[in-house]
Structure 1
Amino acid sequence: MSQLSARSKANFAVMLGLMAQTYGVDTVAETFSATPEVHQMLMDKIVLQSSFLQQINVMPVTEIKGQKILGSASGLVTTRTNTTGAGERKGRHLLDLDAQGYELHQTDMDTALLYSMIDSWAKFPDLADRYANYINRAIATNKAMIGWHGTSVAATTDPTANPMGQDVNKGWLQILREQAAAQVLTEGDTAGKVILGASGDFENLNSLVHGALSMIPEEHADSGDLVAIVGRDLITRDKGRRYAQHGELPSEKQRIEMAQTIDTYGGLNAFTVPHFPARGVLVTSMSNLSLYYQESSIRRQIVDEPKKNQYADYRSQNEGYVVETLEKAAYIEGANVEFVEEQA
């Protein structure tokens, strides 16, 4: 028997009833799936928990493996054809869809909610929303983290050995390493190292970002929507150098703290995002990064586990990461970046 208090048990039962109603099932205690519309709604709620996921594409697909859906609009569509003779107007393909395609993998998102936590939350009238936000926030964080750190797809993952989800799925950076190696800079003049500093491969962060930009072909480099995603160690180092140079001047100190002097690097708007490699630099557009999930692939069951004093929420769906246009992305391998400090 459940060890929940009577009030907690009643309130939690109401929440589970509302969940069953949302999914259109009799009970959530048995494994169930969702219609494409409900699945979309659930994914939208996860996306809302992450400002980063809101900027990229999180899209449903019907097949577990197939051709990419999006791509970069390229080529000239504004033309003219003399049709009075044998000439015919022809539609031109704008989307640059490469042959790599995508592949989705079953991804489990299993969580547990202790009775003690349910008892603590029972007094809140918004128990259902509070629980959903609690779960969705963790899932959203994990999706972004795996997108940056995922390198493999293990049959059984090991969270202890791979705390960043390295073995859950292949993320965007790994896709670039495998499918567009020429656009991943792993070393400069020193084997296996990219040295940042006056005597290194790149003098400063501006030149490092510009170096990444220079690896992108002109037709994409001039697209107008490229940004630089920059690791926090690089931002911190650059801000520290600016403090050292101008920190004693009140006006300059305020500008540095408000980030008004470091919002662009290499001519691109710069962003830091959660869990991005601390010394990495990725130049691409946010719309070039996607997370696909197979519609109606979600499976869920909520099980009372009194022997563990908890409810377990078992959830899975098929999903995968996609770089829509490989040539529109370039990465400086963060693990290889080293700093060289100038002598005073």
Structure 2
Amino acid sequence: MTAFIKPHAAELFHQNFVSNAKKFGNSFQISEPSENLLRVAMMQSSWMMEQITTADVAQENGQAVSVGDNSLYTGRALEGRFRNPTKLNGSVYELCETDSCASINYDKMSLLINSGSGTQDEFNQKMSDFFSRAFTLDMLKIGFNGQYSALDTKPNENPKGEDVNKGWHAIAHEFNAGSQVITKPATIGETGDFKHLDALASFLINELIPEGFREDPRLVVMVGAELAATERLKLFNGAASPSDRASAQMLNSSVAGRFAFVPPFMPGRRLAVTTLDNLHIYTQKSTRVFKAGFNEDKKLYEHSYLRQEGYALGDGFMYAAMDENALTLKDS
């Protein structure tokens, strides 16, 4: 087992341009070129991570910057050149200490090594894929569910990272006095305030998204799993022909004429409209510290990733949502 673990740790050092691994023991801080490579690798580990904005910033707090909006920047003026000032509507961000650690016990490592060809390269790849995926999914969990940053987090009480950091929805709650998130109780169903998802999504777009953004082709509808399941069940129950069933199966791909999908870990009754690149994750430069090694006392291989990290909205007005706590499903 050790014959695989030590070379894997050495490969991590080599990949991250660390010239003297012994100086740091099992811990190392990666170089700036490798920070960019790491960000690319984590983005590629998930379809959604490839679409959202991940960036390095110099300061621990500040304002998110997303240059420009969908205002009209072309025209004429009676005197001089036509101009329309660029707007900056980004939310405020605050980075905080974020520590990720995942481990694999000895028995599972033995199965992992013997399940394939048993080569060092295969072991390295499987371990790297596992840890990258685990940490990436955590970033999405916190982005959709984070409410605040506690000094001492309690994962048993907050399994989706509610106390790790403020996620995108919590940030939207505070942006512009909460104008972009509906918290007033509402119902969805045949006799509800909104008959179906299309009606609710259209309301969010037409009432909360500024006019210049409403026809933006990048807008997507993010549907909570419970809402999607309920709507599909209604369509399947009423499907009288194969074409009706096909329409039911296509539900999650289009809502209110926009591309729609069920994001991982988003609360089941939440509905949100935004562009995916409007969802930002920031990491402070030169704060990434990794540790990898086998803990002989616990018989665990541990891989940890420490950094200063936070979330933001590039443009707060480009996010509109119905809060999950305000929406009630009506059967009839």
TM-score, L = length of structure 2: 0.90
Task: State the 1:21 CA deviation.
Answer: 1.1
Aligned to 1:127: 123
Q: 1:182-197 alignment to 2 at 5 Å?
A: 182-187=179-184, 193-197=185-189
Alignment partners' CA distance in 1, 2:57 and 2:51: 19
Aligned to 1:23: 16
Task: State the 1:58 CA deviation.
Answer: 1.1
Change (3 A) 1:33 1:340: same
Matched, 1:111 2:108: no
CA contact 2:131–2:303 (8 Å) conserved in 1: no
CA contact 1:72–1:325 (8 Å) conserved in 2: no
Task: State the 1:173 CA deviation.
Answer: 0.2
Aligned to 1:176: 172
Counterpart among 248, 261, 269 of residue 256 in structure 1 = 248
The superposition leaves residues 30-61 of structure 1 with CA deviations (integer Å, 9 ceiling, x where unpaired) of 43211121012112222212111111111112
Give the share of equivalent positions with the same residue, in percent.
24
Q: 1:1-344 alignment to 2 at 5 Å?
A: 8-25=1-18, 26-27=20-21, 29-80=25-76, 89=81, 92-94=84-86, 96-98=87-89, 100-123=91-114, 124-125=118-119, 126-180=122-176, 181-187=178-184, 193-213=185-205, 214-246=207-239, 248-257=240-249, 259=250, 263-342=253-332
Alignment partners' CA distance in 2, 1:200 and 1:54: 37
CA RMSD, Structure 1 to Structure 2 (Å): 2.1
Alignment partners' CA distance in 1, 2:15 and 2:225: 40
Alignment partners' CA distance in 2, 1:256 and 1:88: 55
Change (3 A) 1:222 1:249: closer
Task: State the 1:239 CA deviation.
Answer: 1.2
CA contact 1:12–1:118 (8 Å) conserved in 2: no
Unaligned residue ranges in structure 1 (runs of 5+):
1-7, 188-192
CA contact 2:91–2:314 (8 Å) conserved in 1: no
CA contact 2:91–2:313 (8 Å) conserved in 1: no
Alignment partners' CA distance in 2, 1:130 and 1:269: 33
- The code of the aligned residue for 2:104 comes to L
Task: State the 1:254 CA deviation.
Answer: 3.6
- The code of the aligned residue for 2:307 comes to Q
TM-score, L = length of structure 1: 0.87
Unaligned residue ranges in structure 2 (runs of 5+):
none
Change (3 A) 1:101 1:178: closer
Alignment partners' CA distance in 1, 2:289 and 2:132: 15
CA contact 1:149–1:173 (8 Å) conserved in 2: yes
Task: State the 1:295 CA deviation.
Answer: 2.2
* Aligned residue-pair number: 322
The superposition leaves residues 78-105 of structure 1 with CA deviations (integer Å, 9 ceiling, x where unpaired) of 24467xxxx65586543x3237432211
CA contact 1:212–1:281 (8 Å) conserved in 2: no
Alignment partners' CA distance in 2, 1:268 and 1:137: 28
- The code of the aligned residue for 2:109 comes to I
Task: State the 1:275 CA deviation.
Answer: 0.7
CA contact 1:196–1:204 (8 Å) conserved in 2: yes
Change (3 A) 1:49 1:63: same
Change (3 A) 1:293 1:93: farther
